[in-house]
Amino acid sequence: MSRIGKQPITVPKGVNVKLDGSLLQVEGPKGRLTHTIPSCIHVEQGPDVISVTRPTDGRQERSLHGLTRTLVANMVEGVTQGFKRELEVVGVGYKAEKAGKTLKLSVGLSHVINFDEPEGVQIQVDKQIIRVEGIDKCLVGQTASKIRMFKKPDVYKGKGIRYVGEVVRKKVGKAGAK
């Protein structure tokens, strides 16, 4: 049995969970999320608890059991608290600014990068910190990853866009030939 999959999900007050066939809809103070439950996984809804079970121990059911439980738990947490990823821009002359719904990155390239804010995600810029917030954990992480990919941290000088708290191991440069 999956250790993660068998844990029940507590539903806080103010969150409405609606199960319509295989479509699960979670609505809370921050918004609404929907997810299609795989046909081989069963979701039971109690008054303030959601439990995810699997009918058999087949390979497909085992692989989807813990995943489905985690996705549902992330939906409940997203509509109540939301998710946030923070990135920092490191480098001389590197900067990020917000113009409407567009993030403008100047990171040592020959042009300014314009990144449009996806639907369901809010991007805020405070000096050298970029905050990506939203209710869908997958979308927040994917958006932060796309922003980081514009200029990954350099292994020699450490310049680029990195997650706050990320440790970049620097390489030693080439020694001069004598």
Same domain, residue pair 95 and 74? no
For the entire predicted model, the pTM comes to 0.87
Same domain, residue pair 155 and 92? yes
Mean pLDDT by 10 residues, the chain (178 residues): 82 91 92 93 90 89 91 95 95 93 93 94 94 96 96 92 92 75
Give per-residue pLDDT as tens, 144-165. Answer: 999 999 999 999 998 999 999 9
Same domain, residue pair 38 and 55? yes
CA 169 to chain centre: 24
Query: CB-based contacts of 46: which residues, under 8 Å, 6+ apart?
Result: none
Q: Which residue has the tokens 């409407």?
A: 100
Q: Which residue has the tokens 């489905």?
A: 68
Instruction: Specify the number of domains making up the chain.
Output: 2
